[in-house]
Structure 1
Amino acid sequence: MYMLNDSEAAELLSFLTPATRPDIKGHATSYILGLSANRDGCRFLRTKPDFIAALFALTSDPSIAIAKDCYHILINLSAEETLHQVLLTDIGVVPTLLKNLKDPQYPFSDQICTILSNLTRHEKTCKTLFKLLQEEIGLAHLVDMLCTEGYNPHAKLHYLAPLLSNLTQMPDARRFLMDRDRCVLQRLLPFTQSQASAVRRGGVIGVLRNCCFDYANHEWLLGNQVDILPFLLLPLAGPEELSEEEYEGLPVDLQYLPEDKKREEDPDIRKMLLETLMLLAATKDGRRTLKDKNVYVVMREFHRWEKDPKVTTACEKLVEVLIGDEPEEGMENLLEVDIPEDVQEKLKAADKEQQELQAEEERIRKQQEEEQTHTRQE
């Protein structure tokens, strides 16, 4: 890809000013948008912080098209981890982004959510941004924006969910969401089945999974105050008929589901749900609750339906815990058990072998289907 020399770069930079004629400015931002769409272009722009500062200033340009181009450039740049420090520290984009995000009439709030979500993917920049967020807007307001339908008529704000998921890498963020006097986490639970957006569903489930790493809260999460289990199980449950005995043990929300009940369509989200259940099953009380609530029955039917090898493996691991014997005394909390390195290596090797076997079985199955289709056509 052709890169600008110094004189060409200087000329292009001179066009990125509020006073430049709109058509020339538009051509310049459009060119840089194309440049930012690949890694080499992002690396080039990383060496040109003046360009990034000028583009950030143009996000407030009177021309909607130019401002939109500049936001899309920032989305592309924020996807590159090597540019995070430039954006956060050198340019200092976050305070302005947060101020604009808080405005319920701001037209580019969706783009801001995506940028902030990108910037919080990695722990170091996530810590920095979380601190700024608490100073400028506050986590409570962020949750309120996500949960308030029509908060901004110009934006859907779906990417607030993965932003929250990234932020809950931080213990302080998890503590806030699980503050028992605030009732914050409970507001997010219905979005595990949001039909509006897979991004929103996945982000909220990511939040729940992160919260379940704090095993001291498992009893509260599974208890009546939160009752997290139905919200994790319902997306995995199908319309299959069960015996009366099996129905009786299930949470009420999972009993006698309609014939047209569909499971979560995104395999990555299904896998996250299983991982969250697995975390809850890591403690003795959690395992007891999952067993008492007949989670195995839902997993049995789910396993028969599931076709994705990675999701199937996650399901099988959960089932092994649910139907297996209880760990010996002193090892009941699976999140606290230290596994020797040689055992870890054996488990990784076995896991890899199982995945390869499943991939080969899937390849053979698809080949057989193609052969059958070819035969029918003949």
Structure 2
Amino acid sequence: MATQLEELVSFLHSPQPAVRQIALDNLVGFSTGPTSTLFKYDNLTPVKDLKQLAQENSRILVQQSVTILANLCDDPQMRRAISEDTNFVKYLASKICDQENTSADIMCILLSNLAKDDSITKIFDMVRETTPEKREKEKGIFASDKIMDCLMDCFVKGNDRKLNKFANYDYLAYFFADIARFLKGRSYFIEQQEYDGVVPLSKLLVFTEKYDSKTRREGVASTIKNSLFDSETHDRLLKDENINLLPYILLPITSAKDSEIDEEDMFNLPDELQLLPEAKRRDPVPSIICVHLESILLLCTTHAAREYLRSKSVYPLVRELHKNVEDENIADLCYRVVNMLMRGEPEAEAVEELPSKKFGRW
């Protein structure tokens, strides 16, 4: 059986398109679990072949080969063989930005899986190559040739298939979340970008309440959290009106039915949380609420940020969440937030930088 499978992966290298197609048809099912080691055959030659097939013009060939590559990313050795190939990563990211690409979404999944390795940060130095004709056609969509800027524009402007009828780009949220684990990534999301004068994180915040896409909400919530691991940036992120971070962390954990917030606390809340419509509901996924609570905990790291959170009535909101949602993980995080915000500040002054391992970065 092993010999037959090894022979099958060798067909990925065949000069005959029909043979390569038959091989792919039969190999997709072997790309997950223990059988995925099959693709390490002959010094990872099948992985090299799959990267070539992912650049073919055939939609079926591309989708199957990219699907296999995405599955193989569970194995660190094979993931590195893909992520450290600068030319392939540049091709993949550039192709995602092609509005006529019928395989953009599966490519977004592959790109997000590659972001587990720090080598992916080279994407910040990549520039998208395009023709004058295509540049003219894309005017108003991409104002920058930097690939990372283009991916951001695809995610924000391409929501609900507005740019590409074949893609919604939701899985780029997971890519953003993973790349924000690295200093270069965090710096990108929280600094104003030259090409449009906007802080990228501020473009993502609106998606924290996109309740028809768990993928988008979850990835954006984790991108926010991972962007908060440098406490010296907290004061600016909280107080810069052009970013306006806090309401978009609090809205997903809040419901209009949280009725026991007194009038004084209510009017200390950020404007966006005052007098919520009756239909306002909190995020239906407890794990996403937990991510937002972890973001609040990270913001509790500094004295200035704790004072700001107190002034914005964060404690009453967390109290209502704890009272109205029965989930053990949410309850534990609520308790920790309350402990940070309500205990005496002289004792809290001794709080050190919160270790990232407590939160399990995305």
Same fold (TM over 0.5): yes
Q: Does 87-96 or 168-177 show the bigger shift?
A: 87-96
Q: Determine if the alignment matches structure 1 residue 169 to structure 2 residue 178.
A: no
Aligned partner of 1:134 in structure 2 is 125
Q: Determine if the alignment matches structure 1 residue 188 to structure 2 residue 207.
A: no
Tell me the secondary structure at the aligned position of residue 113 of structure 1. helix
Aligned partner of 2:268 in structure 1 is 249
**Residues 64-87 of structure 1, C-alpha deviation per residue, up to 9 Å, x if partnerless?**
333322221111112322311222
**Residues 128-158 of structure 1, C-alpha deviation per residue, up to 9 Å, x if partnerless?**
1211442244322222221113232211101
Q: Does 104-113 or 10-19 show the bigger shift?
A: 10-19
Distance 2:166 2:85 in 1: 30
CA drift of 1:89 comes to 3.9
Over the residues paired in the alignment, what is the CA RMSD in angstroms? Answer: 2.5
Q: Determine if the alignment matches structure 1 residue 13 to structure 2 residue 10.
A: yes
Aligned partner of 2:132 in structure 1 is none
Q: Does 140-149 or 280-289 show the bigger shift?
A: 140-149
Distance 1:14 1:301 in 2: 60
- The answer to whether the 8 A contact 2:121-2:184 is kept is no
CA drift of 1:232 comes to 0.4
- The answer to whether the 8 A contact 2:251-2:273 is kept is yes
Distance 1:259 1:280 in 2: 29
CA drift of 1:210 comes to 1.6
- The answer to whether the 8 A contact 2:105-2:167 is kept is yes
Aligned partner of 1:233 in structure 2 is 250
Tell me the secondary structure at the aligned position of residue 345 of structure 2. coil
Aligned partner of 1:210 in structure 2 is 226
Larger RCO of the pair (alpha carbons < 8 Å, separation 6+)? 2
Distance 2:343 2:349 in 1: 17
- The answer to whether the 8 A contact 2:171-2:216 is kept is yes
Tell me the secondary structure at the aligned position of residue 103 of structure 1. coil
Tell me the secondary structure at the aligned position of residue 231 of structure 1. helix
- The answer to whether the 8 A contact 1:17-1:54 is kept is no
**Residues 38-65 of structure 1, C-alpha deviation per residue, up to 9 Å, x if partnerless?**
2x11122123422222233223445433
Distance 1:317 1:330, change over 3 A: closer
Aligned partner of 2:332 in structure 1 is 313
Aligned partner of 1:147 in structure 2 is 156
Gapped regions of structure 1 (runs ≥ 5) = 338-343, 349-378
**Residue number among 272, 292, 308 corresponding to 1:289 in the alignment:** 308
Aligned partner of 1:160 in structure 2 is 172
Q: Does 51-60 or 156-165 show the bigger shift?
A: 51-60
Tell me the secondary structure at the aligned position of residue 249 of structure 1. coil
Q: Which amino acid aligns with 1:68?
A: Q
Distance 1:322 1:26, change over 3 A: same
Percent of residue pairs identical: 27
Task: Report the TM-score when normalising by structure 1.
Answer: 0.79
Q: Which has the larger radius of gyration?
A: 1
Distance 1:247 1:89, change over 3 A: closer
Distance 1:327 1:82, change over 3 A: farther
- The answer to whether the 8 A contact 1:16-1:28 is kept is no
**Residues 178-199 of structure 1, C-alpha deviation per residue, up to 9 Å, x if partnerless?**
2246322211111111234111
- The answer to whether the 8 A contact 1:98-1:133 is kept is no
CA drift of 1:279 comes to 0.8
Tell me the secondary structure at the aligned position of residue 2 of structure 2. coil
Aligned partner of 1:111 in structure 2 is 106
CA drift of 1:31 comes to 1.6
Counterparts in 2 of 1:47-58, with a 5 A limit?
Answer: 47-48=41-42, 49-58=44-53
Distance 1:278 1:61, change over 3 A: same
Aligned partner of 1:274 in structure 2 is 293
Distance 1:90 1:326 in 2: 50
Distance 1:17 1:43 in 2: 21
Task: Report the TM-score when normalising by structure 2.
Answer: 0.83
Tell me the secondary structure at the aligned position of residue 151 of structure 1. coil
Q: Which amino acid aligns with 2:151?
A: L
Aligned length: 328
Distance 1:8 1:112 in 2: 26
Distance 2:122 2:49 in 1: 25
- The answer to whether the 8 A contact 2:206-2:248 is kept is yes
Tell me the secondary structure at the aligned position of residue 306 of structure 2. helix
Q: Determine if the alignment matches structure 1 residue 334 to structure 2 residue 352.
A: yes
Tell me the secondary structure at the aligned position of residue 276 of structure 1. helix
